[in-house]
Structure 1
């Protein structure tokens, strides 16, 4: 056994069906009594219902969470929280709502209770990503770790099949990078393999039967496992490229991860063969890159940046932005090779 360092995050996790009913108890358990409920526009009605259910424990609703956590949205939410005298935030929704809760906590130290409705996994990490003036930046700090994560399988039953698939592959990206991270360890390796395997088996079922509660439970657990990996180790090229494409070129987050992941895997495979063998095994595929590409394509997910609205003439700029502040990565980051990666992703070529 090789030496390793393992850092666990201090979060309370509640997993099951019908667990949304425990939000009020968790607010009081934190010693709070004035929660600001956060959602995006998609979940505003659910947010209003939650606010009503919480009664006097909720002081308001902010329904404007947005993808990639724009700082101007955070400005408005923080102002509302301070005006209402909120002592905690309750985020209900996907990565946008969770990201806003983190951004508020980063500025104010308010307690967070987050209730994910997708598989992004960001709720289980100490990473905050924010976008300002078209540039998305990330940092890692325990200040943004939610005090409580409530996973309610029932809330994912209405997640559309297409969003289910891209959100699930987004979660897999966390686990893939954890396996070749400079901080990888036996605990995160185990979680990563289990998370990828659970999602790889659940997503084909959910593509055909989105209401399958057993597959939903497996997918949600897989997303937590994958997100937990990202919370305990550093990320690399996959996340750098996806953050660049999303923050600078306004591409959708989960879909971008879905398109880029097979190609970042192919780029890193010669320098992380043991990690990629674990990914392939978890997918039940011969190779990690082709297995991930084939899974996404077979499920009807987007597999080219062209489909997402990326312009070919912007590929070189994307490489330049990504190289300005690169993340540690197994393979050396070479401009022409990165441009080749993005060109393959743009065209939707199956990795060699």
Structure 2
């Protein structure tokens, strides 16, 4: 069978090295000729941010960071950047922090050097997201892609194991969704499979020895691959559902992705046998869902949306908002009833194997 596809690889510099974040950030600021640097980091990450930026002149430290990037939060950051005459942003933190830097770049064109402290992967995509009126809007714009990502596993050691697990499973969701997203192709599929392998190796190592760097390096590497695959393939069914749950119901990003993932996999895998086989092989398992569930059991992963505040009353609204956004290219047709069944199962943490049979 001949190959035919259209693949775009985003241009971005990646500097990877444990214990080298401050050195690499200083080198990038110098390379970019930055004179007025804005550091974006939440209060929780302030100590790490100070250490990471110790080698550069900082014009402004901005710590007004919020989950899902409310428009009002973005506007305040944009105004602060303009007032300070900023010419470079250095964001230190997880997806919310990176998302805020992207929101500023979206309207200003300011370059970003991203220093991730979680496994969110947002730093390697040109996807932005903003929330207004309980609705999360996402888009694609090359202006928001950080020019450089500085990965340093030592910065993730303080991330608790439970949050590391949720964040890493969010990365796994990027990988799995990439295999049937609208622009899926053999190149991003190869990156997604390697991302699954790296995360499935790194996350249990973090659980076994949280202060060791080897597992965290694998998780960061896997998170990067997951994001690159996602940026190329686009947003699939899983992400459309989770963006609604986050933006409309303010559920925590990583935990929501970690919880919903097995249900979308159970739904789509029977209709996408090649993707399912690739996922299974990446897990080293006979079956894609069994491989994911074995990993989730080992990690004591997030289990039910009810644990994060979602209720039965929200299912109808979630279905109404999410259903029109699910790509037509999804391998299996999605109806109101099937989407409601997925959300109901995720709400309670029901066995996804049961879900697969019920929806046949």
- TM category, shorter: over 0.9
Superposed, 1:199-238 pairs within 5 Å as 199-238=199-238
Normalising to structure 2: TM-score of the pair? 0.94
Q: Distance in 1 between matches of 2:103 and 2:326?
A: 22
Given that residues 131 and 247 in structure 1 are in contact (C-alpha distance below 8 angstroms), is that contact kept between their aligned partners in structure 2? yes
Structure 1 pair 98/196, CA: closer, same or farther in 2 (3 Å)?
A: same
Q: Distance in 1 between matches of 2:116 and 2:175?
A: 18
State yes or no: 1:309 paired with 2:309.
yes
Given that residues 297 and 303 in structure 1 are in contact (C-alpha distance below 8 angstroms), is that contact kept between their aligned partners in structure 2? no
Counterpart residue number, 1:240: 240
Counterpart residue number, 1:81: 81
Counterpart residue number, 2:267: 267
Q: Which moved more, 1:282-291 or 1:22-31?
A: 282-291
Given that residues 48 and 61 in structure 1 are in contact (C-alpha distance below 8 angstroms), is that contact kept between their aligned partners in structure 2? no
Q: What CA deviation, in whole Å up to 9, does each residue of 1:219-262 have, x standing for no partner?
A: 11111111110111112110011100011001100000000000
Counterpart residue number, 1:351: 352
Q: Which moved more, 1:243-252 or 1:294-303?
A: 294-303
Given that residues 262 and 290 in structure 1 are in contact (C-alpha distance below 8 angstroms), is that contact kept between their aligned partners in structure 2? no
Gaps of 5+ in 1: none
State the secondary structure of the residue aligned to 1:306.
Answer: helix
Q: Which moved more, 1:274-283 or 1:90-99?
A: 274-283
Q: Distance in 2 between matches of 1:302 and 1:180?
A: 24
State yes or no: 1:24 paired with 2:41.
no
Counterpart residue number, 1:255: 255
| Number of aligned positions between the proteins | 350
State the secondary structure of the residue aligned to 2:321.
Answer: helix
Counterpart residue number, 1:296: 296
Given that residues 315 and 342 in structure 1 are in contact (C-alpha distance below 8 angstroms), is that contact kept between their aligned partners in structure 2? yes
Given that residues 245 and 256 in structure 1 are in contact (C-alpha distance below 8 angstroms), is that contact kept between their aligned partners in structure 2? yes
Aligned residues: CA RMSD: 1.4
Q: Which moved more, 1:6-15 or 1:20-29?
A: 20-29
Normalising to structure 1: TM-score of the pair? 0.96
Q: Distance in 1 between matches of 2:326 and 2:77?
A: 30
Distance apart, 1:50 and its partner CA: 4.0
Counterpart residue number, 1:332: 333
Q: Distance in 2 between matches of 1:296 and 1:24?
A: 38
Given that residues 177 and 236 in structure 1 are in contact (C-alpha distance below 8 angstroms), is that contact kept between their aligned partners in structure 2? yes
Given that residues 323 and 339 in structure 2 are in contact (C-alpha distance below 8 angstroms), is that contact kept between their aligned partners in structure 1? no
Superposed, 1:1-352 pairs within 5 Å as 1-20=2-21, 21-51=23-53, 53-55=54-56, 57-328=57-328, 329-352=330-353
Q: Distance in 2 between matches of 1:48 and 1:133?
A: 34
Q: Distance in 1 between matches of 2:141 and 2:266?
A: 30
Distance apart, 1:212 and its partner CA: 1.9
Q: Distance in 2 between matches of 1:324 and 1:223?
A: 28
Structure 1 pair 83/54, CA: closer, same or farther in 2 (3 Å)?
A: farther
Given that residues 169 and 254 in structure 2 are in contact (C-alpha distance below 8 angstroms), is that contact kept between their aligned partners in structure 1? yes
Given that residues 47 and 61 in structure 1 are in contact (C-alpha distance below 8 angstroms), is that contact kept between their aligned partners in structure 2? no
Distance apart, 1:290 and its partner CA: 3.4
Q: What CA deviation, in whole Å up to 9, does each residue of 1:175-199 have, x standing for no partner?
A: 1111122322222111111110111
Gaps of 5+ in 2: 354-360
Q: Distance in 2 between matches of 1:221 and 1:252?
A: 23
Q: What CA deviation, in whole Å up to 9, does each residue of 1:68-114 have, x standing for no partner?
A: 11111111111111111111110000101111111110010001100
